[in-house]
Structure 1
Amino acid sequence: MKYSIILTISFVFLFAVNVSAQSQKDSLAIKQAALDYIESQHNAKPTQFERSAHPRMVKRTFWTDKKTGKEYLRETFRDAMILLAETYNKDGSRFPKNPKKEVVILDIYDKTASIKLIADDWIDYMHIVKLNGKWQIVNVLWQLNDSKDH
């Protein structure tokens, strides 16, 4: 009986510590970083992307070489993503009228977070870090919904 009570109190204490490590403000800022990332492409607003991404952000995916059929890892950096945000949907034809942009927070621990962004044609897994009071994306791993299109 004593063991059960101690275990219950320990569990409650550990749960309370984890919950207090994140605030509603942090959750909203993390979600906003992910939304700025995708909405910058929807709206062709590179400054919106810039505020969401740390200067050393890296985005990766797998790709298939058409000649050899071998898969390899492709990397894109923040500067290229800023240009993409400016040009990718400039004519407004790349996304549906009401594009999908579902943000799922997978985990938050103190100053780091993992999220999943579900868009129309792909998903992004992101690592977001809080530096100097600001949440910014540092890593993105993405894939198209149909991996054969890579």
Structure 2
Amino acid sequence: MKASFLILSLALAATLNLQAQTAQDTLDIKRVALAYIEAQHTPNPKLMQDALHPRLVKRSVFKNKATKKDYVSEFFAENMIILAESYNVKGDKFPKNPRKEVKLLDISARTASVKLIADAWIDYMHIVKTNGEWKIINVLWQYNDLAEHQ
């Protein structure tokens, strides 16, 4: 009986250590996810750059109209910084009060998984803590309307 209690206690302690984070980490993770979308709203390439890890890869699956075959598109940090600078220059790409809902799916000491729900799409993000800062390193996204993936 004592051995079972000891094993259970050790397992619980190990789990708590694996999930270690601070309230500040949670705030920083949400801030980075929001910076990613708000940099596109404003536009603000500096805000985007500050939110991204330099090795970021953003992917989605599209269907080639001619061949009808699926393919994976990839963007990198540089593409996203340019996008933040140019995508919404006229201010016509988003509603007046755009949707930007951040759901924390999992947070560990150095990694986090986040779901960002925006107006036209959903982004699943992996956010990593490097050198004391949270940065987006992976994004997998899709349009809400799958017909847009053509």
Fold match (TM-score > 0.5): yes
The answer for the alignment partner of 1:102 in structure 2 is 101
The answer for the alignment partner of 2:52 in structure 1 is 53
The answer for the alignment partner of 1:33 in structure 2 is 32
Q: Which amino acid aligns with 1:75?
A: E
Paired residues in the alignment total 149
Q: Which amino acid aligns with 2:122?
A: I
Deviation (angstroms), 1:16: 3.9
The answer for the alignment partner of 1:115 in structure 2 is 114
Deviation (angstroms), 1:134: 0.6
CA distance in 1 between counterparts of 2:132 and 2:116 reads 22
Structure 2, gaps ≥5 residues long: none
The answer for the alignment partner of 1:73 in structure 2 is 72
The answer for the alignment partner of 1:146 in structure 2 is 145
Where has structure 1 moved over 6 Å in runs of 4 or more?
A: none
Q: Which amino acid aligns with 2:13?
A: F
Over aligned residues, Cα RMSD in angstroms? 1.7
Distance 1:8 1:47, change over 3 A: same
CA distance in 1 between counterparts of 2:9 and 2:131 reads 35
Matching of residues 119-130 of structure 1 within 5 Å:
119-130=118-129
Distance 1:9 1:56, change over 3 A: closer
Q: Which amino acid aligns with 2:30?
A: K
CA distance in 1 between counterparts of 2:92 and 2:33 reads 22
CA distance in 2 between counterparts of 1:58 and 1:17 reads 29
Distance 1:58 1:16, change over 3 A: closer
CA distance in 1 between counterparts of 2:121 and 2:3 reads 48
CA distance in 2 between counterparts of 1:17 and 1:100 reads 34
Deviation (angstroms), 1:12: 4.9
Q: Which amino acid aligns with 1:80?
A: N
Structure 1, gaps ≥5 residues long: none
Matching of residues 3-14 of structure 1 within 5 Å:
9-10=9-10, 12-14=12-14
CA distance in 2 between counterparts of 1:72 and 1:102 reads 28
Q: Secondary structure at the match of 2:31?
A: helix
- CA displacement 1:57-84 (0-9 Å, x = unmatched): 1100001111111110000111111111
